Amino acid sequence: MPKLITQVGCPYCGAACDDLEILVSDDGKKILETRNACVIGSEIFHHATSSNRLTRPRLRQPDGSFKETTYEEAIDYTAKALLHAKKPLIYGFGSTNCEGMSAVGRVSEKAGAVLDNCASICHGPSFLAIFDNGYPSCTLGEIKNRADVVVFWGCNPMHAHPRHTSRYSIFPRGFFTNRGQKHRTVICVDPRETDTAKLADHHLMVKQGHDYDLFDAFRTVLRGHDIPKEVAGIEKARILEAAEKMKNARFVMIFFGMGCTHTDGRNHNVDIAISLTRDLNDQTKASIMAMRGHYNIAGPGQVWSWQFGFPYCIDLSKGTHAHMNPGETSSVDLAMRDEVDCFVNVGTDAGAHFPIEAVKHLKNHPFITVDPNINMASEISDLHIPVRIVGVEEPGVVYRMDNVPIQFKKVIDGPEGVPSDEELFDRVYLRMCELTQTEPIWIHEKTHVPTTTSQVD
Amino acid sequence: MATITMKPFKTPELFLECSNISPDVFAGKSPSEISKLEVREGKIRNELGDFFEVTGTSGTTAEDTDIVIEGDCSRVKYIGMKMTAGSITLNGNADMYVGGWMKGGSIHVKGNVDSFCGIAMEGGEIQVDGDAQNYVGCAYRGDWRGMRGGTIHIHGSAGNDIGTFMLGGTIIIEKNAFIHVSTHAEGGTVIIKGDVQGRVGGQMVKGDIYVLGDVTYMLPGFKEIGQVDKTIAGQDITFRHFIGDLGERHPKKKGQEIYGNLFLRASSPSGIPQ
Amino acid sequence: MAELVIKNGFVIDPSRNINGDVADIAIRDDKIVEKGGKDAKVIDARGKVVMPGGVDIHAHVAGPKVNAGRLMRPEDKLFKSPNAQEHYRMEMGFSIPSTFKTGYDYARMGYAFVMEAAMPPLHGPHVHEEIHDTPIIDEGALPVFGNNWFVMEYLKNEEIENTAAYVAWLLSATKGFGLKLVNPGGTAAWAWGLNCLSINDPVPFYDITPAEIITGLMKTNEYLGLPHSIHLHHNSLGIPGNYAVTLDSLQLAGGITAKNKFNREQVMHSTHIQFHSYGGDSWANFESKAKEVMDYVNSRKNLTVDLGCVTLDETTTMTADGPFEHHLNSLNHLKWANTDVELETAAGVVPYIYDKDVKVSGIQWAIGLELGLYAKDPSRTFITTDHPNAGPFIRYPRVIKWLMSQKAREATFDTLKHSSKVIDATDLHGIDKERTLYEIAQMTRTGPAKALGLSHMYGGLGEGLDANVAVFDLDVNNMPGDPEEIEKAFLRASLFVKSGQIVVKDGDITHHGNKRTVWVNAKVKDNPQVTRDIHDKFLKNYTVSIGNYAVRDNLAPNPYVIEVDVEA
């Protein structure tokens, strides 16, 4: 009898839906059917048992080809590369669990590495804004139960977070919003007529790159001052109308995405959006939230904040303390300036996401990818180490876009012999300890197999 | 006055962190002692003498110690960090954090500097003959206490984020600046003699900004209230006077709200309607 | 079998009325025993003070708001990393230290147990992840109940049994320790941007008052017979004149008696009482009402309090009192984080500087110490700083110094810019009382252990208790003339044995210890209505599935579960 596993978390987007139902074959090895998931989420589950899954690490050979190798050898190679480098960069974590991120924290400290995550090229500007201005936010249930004006600014959940609008933000009937969509006024600010914009009651087609000006206009209007007759390509009357909607709402929710963080202004767009949220709280109730991309990309921001005090761009090379200053310690800047001499790409695809110049610099040094899948980064790596897929083959804690922890399940067993991120990095750590003849520091009792015992030369 | 001369003879593979290059650290030390001071290249500990030839004599205090660096420091960070007195003259370029958290004394860089020049500066003087990258005179991440005093004079152009969270002191940019000037500022003066693209004074509470060139995009939160004559860098200039950011909170003094001031040269070929 | 004897120290153990007698403390494995064997390892503590391990009844050390504070304050780390020890994890942060630094610094001060003071249930897994990453110290966490939809709906109709069933379920689901109430009703009002500033302000929509929530949860707590009492952060925190609300709120405990098997006597623990003892009606005529509040507490044996002393530092305020943080932000205009948590609670975070140049800060500082000195029963009055709200926990030794030395208090008065105004608004200047080491041990060890219902584990050095022993470099017969030496001694224990393991020597960490998570499992009889209500709310209002809500066992891998069988 196939088995139906319910309340399964989805390892795709930051909405981290945890109501999926997965039908698994009798032997617990094959995923037969997914229910409740969006098409992308569904694909992740089906992909897990596709025939082209890698189950052993591949090491680049002198002739440029990849050759399959053992995990022991891959761990040894990684440990030595990290120890040898003056300043390695460990980056990624778009798709791992918090357990893996925690294990990497220990490795990075030992390696004197810079530890960074995909926020660096995504919602990093949001962190900069949070550092400077705070983050008046809420959990997604508050929007479902209370929000009557919902603003989508520079984000398009209809494509990027397919179930966001139905589970949390536009359609659901909540406790104080029992008429669902009819209860809510939706405002979309986007230079394009996206599918989200099409759903909106008001679409403000902001002139590309002038979000900051438009935020400033809203703030100025809310304080009772006049504004020019057009700001950022929007007529004054339309700005006044939208401002009035927000002011008269019972609960205003502002969602923002990469349209804020990666157009001109970047962190400042988010910073002033936060200021607008603060202003609105003097008149009504308002909240703001970053539309985080991956299901657990809020995770490293949490785990590393409690371990090191910083969410990303953490330079651990000083040994005594961590240092963070994006612009200096951010992955792309480090790569572009040729400031690191070893690169480990974990659970993401820096090959596809980084500027080509940055990748070229990184390619001058050891380049390692840890990821279940083949991607552009893995194909240019010196070493590719496959791991289990979190949420499918490996359980663990993930942080949803609203920083709510969700305990993901596994639904099938991973391929024989393939470790989780956590196991892999704990083994790398233990190998680094062996090579440096040092005692491991407070590593929780685990069953990870220690590797061979040869010393560093 | 006593002078220590440093001559770079080796370029690091990565970047050198040299927060020890400061009159405060060098004072009272011999060249050989200075050569043994720690510098970092990533996690590797090196000595200053591994990269610089150090000669001359230091003063007994920072105040009477001058440091002259003869050569390029494009891959050297933190020159003059936290210095309180004395001087540093660099005949070449410098990397990030020149004069970071500086309290006194003077730094003269005859080439260009990278980002974070004069970050969280409290006093003293920084002269840069060339260009500066981003974050001139800014605050450290998250700190609401940005530049509090002193002067930063960039003779070339500067990038974005100048004087963020500035509370006091003066920043002068002789040529152009990119975007975001005096964001969140609550004091201080920024003078830009060239053009700025936009977002000047965003979320500004208090402080003064002078732009002698053009502002391409004026923020909607700034309102023109008249014209004033001022003497800036020895020139008598008529300015259009804007106040803002009207979207931001402003303190009250004797019942009157205090705003940030943006002075835009009246004769600028500005696209902003009079 | 590991044996250890700490010999010849001046033992201070209020749980057995021992005050400075020279005696030996013997340890076998993780427990204190009567006598060590002949092979026991001997540590000489001659000329030093030997106390039970410290117990912190209230600190914000783990969880989402603590981490929001860490995340949004990089400047709290800049140039502030004084304690990095080789071969240990990196230690970052001043007012909101990393988990590693938290564990290490508490151990350095000889603390064995710390209670995380506010766990949002929905974020339970996060709290436990952080606890798991905090070395050495034992920890528990108090889930917040005072603004919870279930609680308000049941208590509106005075349904104590249903409330109890829900509370028991949530304690078990979150691996929580007891009942925390933060600005009851007020935080629920904050979800609409409102507040409840007195105990009789109705909670918008819920048709219930803070007083009814407090009384109902007090009754629920005693119905269940939990180790700890309700742990209450009163309404109207931090507002001039709030002492009247505090007195109203404390009076609700009248007529309710403690019912439990844990030797606990109080029915209400009133936390960070400093923030609730304010007179005046504005910041201009702000003054101390410490005496009025403490006089009442002194007269009621069923109350305990902790101080929440202001330490005059730059720190980070964080509380589930969402409306208060919004209010504070309107005063200091610094960055502000807020998280409203669906159906349960909220939280806010704002950096704050208690500035010696500001009159109000000086008065707040004085109020905390006045309360500590006016208390007639030190075993019901505990030293805290509401870490990090009134100051970071590493300032406990400084608070101890102030309580033990009038000279130290006067020295601080001299550093206040408006000391004469502070003196006018408070009594502290005229108080010559100085707390003894015995009283300090009551206020940091025996007292809080008893109030938590954990006196069978912590707070004493009697046979059978957990082997948590702190040795401080202080000579009871020759106490230092310079009060700074007192602070120094308590900041870095000469020796600390936690659960039988030496974890600190000469103020340095020597071992990662055997930390535990302590939680309470109250067993009530099946309550189908409550079960149905819980499922219903998860279906309709929560955005997380019920099956993923409860904290899984692997997140608390070193549990110590206190089982409570409810007879009803």
Rounded Cα–Cα distance for residues C317 and C178 (Å): 23
Work out the number of other CB atoms within 10 angstroms of the CB of residue A442. 17
Whether pLDDT at A447 is above 50? no
Which residues between 53 and 72 in chain B have a beta carbon less than 8 angstroms from any beta carbon of chain A?
none
- Chain A residue with CA closest to B221: the answer is A220
Would you call A137 and C338 a contact, using CB atoms and an 8 Å cutoff?
yes
What's the mean pLDDT when you consider all of chain A?
Answer: 95
Rounded Cα–Cα distance for residues A43 and A40 (Å): 5
Residue C80 pLDDT: 85
**Whether the predicted interface score ipTM is above 0.95:** yes
Residues of chain A in contact with residue B198, where contact means CB-CB under 8 angstroms, are 213
Domains of chain C: 52-451 (3.20.20)
Residue A454 pLDDT: 34
Residue A442 pLDDT: 92
Closest CA to A410 of A2, A8, A1: A8
Could you tell me if C296 and C250 are in contact, meaning their C-beta atoms sit under 8 angstroms apart?
yes
Residues of chain C in contact with residue A320, where contact means CB-CB under 8 angstroms, are 81, 84, 90
Q: How many CA atoms lie within 13 A of C514 on its CB side?
A: 14
Q: How far is the CA of A3 from the CAs of A21, A26, A393, A396, in angstroms?
A: 10, 7, 15, 21
Question: Is the minimum CB–CB distance between A22 and chain B shorter than 8 Å?
Answer: no
DSSP 3-state of C88: coil
C493-514: average pLDDT? 97
Whether pLDDT at A451 is above 60? no
Closest CA to A354 of A373, A375, A370: A375
pLDDT tens by residue, B132-180: 999 999 999 999 999 999 999 999 999 999 999 999 999 999 999 999 9
DSSP 3-state of C381: strand
**All chains having 3 or more CB pairs closer than 8 angstroms to chain B:** A, C
Would you call C90 and A441 a contact, using CB atoms and an 8 Å cutoff?
no
Which residues between 319 and 358 in chain A have a beta carbon less than 8 angstroms from any beta carbon of chain B?
319, 324-328, 337-341
Whether pLDDT at C60 is above 70? yes
Residues of chain B in contact with residue C72, where contact means CB-CB under 8 angstroms, are 142
Rounded Cα–Cα distance for residues A188 and A202 (Å): 6
pLDDT tens by residue, C507-534: 999 999 999 999 999 999 999 999 999 9
- Element spanning B216, H or E: strand B215-217
Q: Positive or negative CA dihedral for C92, C94, C97, C102?
A: positive
In chain C, what percentage of residues exceed pLDDT 90?
Answer: 97
Measure CB to CB from residue C340 to each of A287, A403, A438 and give the nearest one: A287
Amino acid, single-letter form, for residue A191 = P
Q: How far is the CA of C90 from the CAs of A320, A428, B121, C137, C516, in angstroms?
A: 7, 19, 28, 17, 21
Closest Cα in chain A, distance from residue C557 (Å):
9
pLDDT tier at A51 (50, 70, 90 boundaries)? confident
Would you call C74 and A278 a contact, using CB atoms and an 8 Å cutoff?
no
pLDDT tier at C2 (50, 70, 90 boundaries)? confident
Question: Is the minimum CB–CB distance between C70 and chain B shorter than 8 Å?
Answer: no
Would you call A397 and C339 a contact, using CB atoms and an 8 Å cutoff?
no
Residues of chain B in contact with residue A132, where contact means CB-CB under 8 angstroms, are 141-142, 144, 164-165, 184
Whether pLDDT at A452 is above 50? no
Rounded Cα–Cα distance for residues A428 and A79 (Å): 5
Q: Is A72 exposed, middle or buried (0-12, 13-18, 19+ CB in 10 A)?
A: middle
Tokens standing for A122? 């995504």
Residue C82 pLDDT: 65
pLDDT tens by residue, A422-432: 999 999 999 99
Work out the number of other CB atoms within 10 angstroms of the CB of residue A66. 17
Percent helix, strand, coil in chain C, to 5, is 35, 20, 40
Give me the helix-helix angle, A211-222 and A267-280, nearest 10°: 20
Q: How far is the CA of B58 from the CAs of B1, B30, B61, B64, in angstroms?
A: 8, 7, 8, 8
Q: Is A14 exposed, middle or buried (0-12, 13-18, 19+ CB in 10 A)?
A: buried
Q: Positive or negative CA dihedral for C394, C398, C399, C400?
A: positive
What's the mean pLDDT when you consider all of chain B?
Answer: 96
B223-229: average pLDDT? 97
**All chains having 3 or more CB pairs closer than 8 angstroms to chain C:** A, B
Question: Is the minimum CB–CB distance between B41 and chain A shorter than 8 Å?
Answer: yes
Residue B270 pLDDT: 62
What are the two backbone dihedrals, phi and then psi, of residue B83, each rounded to the nearest 5 degrees? -65, 150
C325-341: average pLDDT? 96
User: Does pTM surpass 0.95?
Assistant: yes
- Element spanning C270, H or E: strand C268-270
Q: Return left, alpha or beta for C459; rule: phi > 0 is left, psi -120 to 50 is alpha, else beta.
A: left
Could you tell me if A296 and A99 are in contact, meaning their C-beta atoms sit under 8 angstroms apart?
no
Would you call B144 and C72 a contact, using CB atoms and an 8 Å cutoff?
no
Closest Cα in chain A, distance from residue C144 (Å):
16
pLDDT tens by residue, A169-212: 999 999 999 999 999 999 999 999 999 999 999 999 999 999 99
Amino acid, single-letter form, for residue A456 = V
pLDDT tens by residue, C192-230: 999 999 999 999 999 999 999 999 999 999 999 999 999
Whether pLDDT at A449 is above 50? no
Residue B272 pLDDT: 63
B177-192: average pLDDT? 98
pLDDT tens by residue, C108-125: 999 999 999 999 999 999
Residue C36 pLDDT: 86
C484-489: average pLDDT? 98
